Structure 1
Amino acid sequence: MSYDEYYVKSVVRAIPDWPEPGVIFRDITPIFKDPKALRMVSDAFVQRYMDADITHIACIDARGFLIASIMAYQLQIPLVLVRKKGKLPGETVSQSYELEYGTSEVEMQTDAVAEGDRVLVFDDLIATGGTILAACTLIKKLGAEVVESAALIDLPDLQGSARIQGADIPVFTMLAYEGL
């Protein structure tokens, strides 16, 4: 682990029993109060994708928006929003998925990506992988290709990264936390 990774990991807060008993929530909001940590995170992802063959970044509601918007600005590529159902105006496509503690549904606008687009899917955290897999399904429904999925944090014990890789989608994360 690099100095940057150690530093960022020291800033992420663990909140036990939230949003329900038995879950340890990895709170990334302290990163946004720490300019050094935010610079380290955004620089790490921008450097990784600087020369990548991607045309869009699809980011997932809501914390994924924050880092991905910096990446899209720096990489000078479009940012596509994947939101909870009912939050986007206009024509949308939707996909349901399972969370580590329930089910949900996400959607994208139908004109967000098109055939020939090469998309990086970004979220703040990978738990069961359901959200990223749902986003990938939407992108593929619209004719675009998913190049890779990325997240700040991986929770490998929940097997989300393995599920995503099992769907032939490469995964990159900056940090991993063992245990639930």
Structure 2
Amino acid sequence: MENEAFKILIDDPDLGLRLIIGLHGPELVKQISRCIQNDDELVKDVYQLTLIAIWTDHKKIVELEDPFAWIMAIARNTALSTLRSERIRLKEPIEDHENLRSSEQADTDLVYKETLDELLQYAKQLTPREEEVFIASKVDGMDNKELEKVHNLKAQRVRNLLSSAQRKIRKLLKR
């Protein structure tokens, strides 16, 4: 019956694969688990990859002298290859994963957003011109030269508006 499952692969690959899973599935999982320990999800993934390899080479398997040994070797080699890939992936530099945020970074971003929202609320209590120049300077990051050009102001007027706005904001923040 054991070699029958492998022979059936030629005529009916679906049935042959189901028979092999029924006969040798637990042994395949055990073989994979010897290489991959403490990671059931990875064992399942490698088991699936092994079944795919059996499916792909189903015509070749029947011609082998010991097909069972071949599928066990495929399971072991697939497990080892997957482990190597996992280790390489785990050693990738953190810069390759810039889009992943640590909880500390997320906390910092949240504090920044909350502070910015509070600052913008206080800025509404400034005169319209002070608010405009203050936000352009502190939020948009414009320097005094840019403020002069964008708002069509003289250098001294920009400094006075910023100074006045900052003094008022400080008072509001101290409350």
TM-score, normalising length: structure 2 = 0.24
Question: For the pair shown, which has the larger CA radius of gyration, 1 or 2?
Answer: 2
More strand per residue: 1 or 2?
A: 1
TM-score, normalising length: structure 1 = 0.23
